[in-house]
Amino acid sequence: MLSLIVAGTFTILLGLDVLLKQHVEETIRPGEEKELPGGKVVIRKVYNKGFLLNSLESHPALIKTVSILAGAGVLACGVWTFARKGHFTEKLGMAILGAGASSNIFDRLSRGKVIDYIGIRSKNQFLARLTANLGDFYILLGAVLLALKNGRK
């Protein structure tokens, strides 16, 4: 039963980010921002052709290769984790992290770039320029869950 919950979590999170990226791709123009209630979060379309903060964007073959290898590593860790009995928190962490990684890898392989769409309003110019997607937050959350679980051992 717990495996179904974890698999369902992976599927729902992956689907949600893929659908939101497609919605942003189809409905938001580059440079356009839509403010969410509260005024601190904005939706905008930013293409990331590299890694974090567009690093190495001028090396698309390297980006694609590293993405595939990292994805294979996450997949291998996920399979190993799911093959073990128990370890619900680790399985959940891997499912969340895997959903984010899969969404971004899917984007990179199908579009040649990742669509980022969540920004924040800030007086700090660096923070105001940052744009992410749900997949990025999934990766962070999954890694934190895994670190917390492994830190208790």
- State the residue range of the domain holding 108: 2-151
Query: pTM of whole model > 0.85?
Result: yes
Which pLDDT belongs to residue 38? 87
Which pLDDT belongs to residue 80? 86
Question: What digits encode the pLDDT tens for the residues 40-85?
Answer: 999 999 999 887 766 677 777 888 888 889 888 888 888 888 878 8
Q: Are 71 and 139 in contact (CB under 8 A)?
A: no
- Give pairs for 81-85: CB < 8 Å, separation 24+: 82/3, 82/6
- Tell me the average pLDDT of the chain: 89
Which pLDDT belongs to residue 137? 97
What is the number of domains present in the chain?
A: 1
More confident site: 130 or 79: 130
Which pLDDT belongs to residue 152? 65
Question: What digits encode the pLDDT tens for the residues 105-128?
Answer: 999 999 999 999 999 999 999 999
